[in-house]
Amino acid sequence: MEQELETIQQVYNIVVEFVISYSFQIVGAIIILVVGAKIASWLGGLVTKLCEKKNVDITLARFLGSVVKILILTFVVIIAIGKFGISIAPFIAALGAVAFGASFAIAGPVSNYGAGLVIILSRPFVIGDTITINGVSGLVEEIHLATTILTNEDGEKITIPNKHIVGEIQVNSFANKVVESTVGISYEDNPEKAIEVIQAALGKIDDICSEPPPQIGIEAFGESSIDLGVRYWVPTEKYFQTLYRGNMVVHKALKEAGITIPFPQRDVHINKIEN
């Protein structure tokens, strides 16, 4: 028990001596860190706003603002450490050795950061675009150095590591997504009239884009029907909602116009064999 008390007393004496000896340095370092952090945040935000005023892409503007903030914070930490009379050279050497040893273990995360930098600088897509990569599709909500976050109409967040984006085939349809469907009409009906009816019906839906306009035409000649291909663009966040509404509107319009949507038919011939 006495030894524990002596140990506690020694630790207490060391702490008191340290505080007395470096009190002004500690206070100065804290002030430098607090003021420096505020200045870094302010300058980072200022750079982002200036880039936005110059019509710089929002993703690149945020990236430049973050870089400025990190650089300033780095210098602030170096200055704060210097208040204690500590040389940062050994720390830099140690960090270099640690980074070299850990480079193999963090190869994946590093490749994500490298790919993120490529995305931010080359800008194959920006926030608000609709992209499809490796069968995954969604609206770009955020672009970070490590990941890109997409959202879909169901409110789901899809996080894609950036290394799986760079070097892959990307489809960018910007803010909209195409709806593709097929409507079959009877061979006895006039396809030109059917196309006009569908065109007019889709024109009543506000969410369907006028540019580019809907594309409607004969897609194929089926066994039981003339197949009309229908393509139109809708906002990605309203894709299924507009698709279902469009199908209902087209069905009603064709029915009111007296145009038949046939069902598959087969002619069966029975040959009677007499003995």
Which of these, 223, 230, 224, 221, lies nearest to 183 by C-alpha position? 230
Q: Write out pLDDT tens, residues 165-175.
A: 998 899 999 88
Q: Write out pLDDT tens, residues 103-123.
A: 555 566 778 888 888 888 888
Instruction: Determine the Cα–Cα distance for residues 63 and 44; give it in Å rounded to an integer.
Output: 9
Question: Could you tell me the pLDDT band of residue 91, with boundaries at 50, 70 and 90?
Answer: low
Confirm if 165 and 220 have CB atoms less than 8 A apart.
no
Q: Write out pLDDT tens, residues 224-249.
A: 899 999 999 999 989 999 999 999 99
Token pair 């069966």 is found at 268
Distances (CA, A) of 37 to 25, 41, 73, 88, 198: 18, 6, 6, 20, 60
Instruction: Determine the Cα–Cα distance for residues 236 and 73; give it in Å rounded to an integer.
Output: 39
Q: Write out pLDDT tens, residues 15-74.
A: 666 666 666 677 777 888 888 889 988 988 898 888 888 877 777 777 788 888 888 888
Which of these, 148, 145, 146, lies nearest to 133 by C-alpha position? 148
pLDDT value, residue 203: 93
pLDDT value, residue 21: 64
In the chain, what are the domains?
2-102 (1.10.287.1260), 124-174 (2.30.30.60), 177-256 (3.30.70.100)
What letter represents residue 3's amino acid? Q
Residues in the chain: 275
Which of these, 204, 233, 199, 241, lies nearest to 216 by C-alpha position? 199
User: Which residues are CB-contacts of 171 (< 8 A; sequence separation ≥ 6)?
Assistant: 131, 132, 133, 137
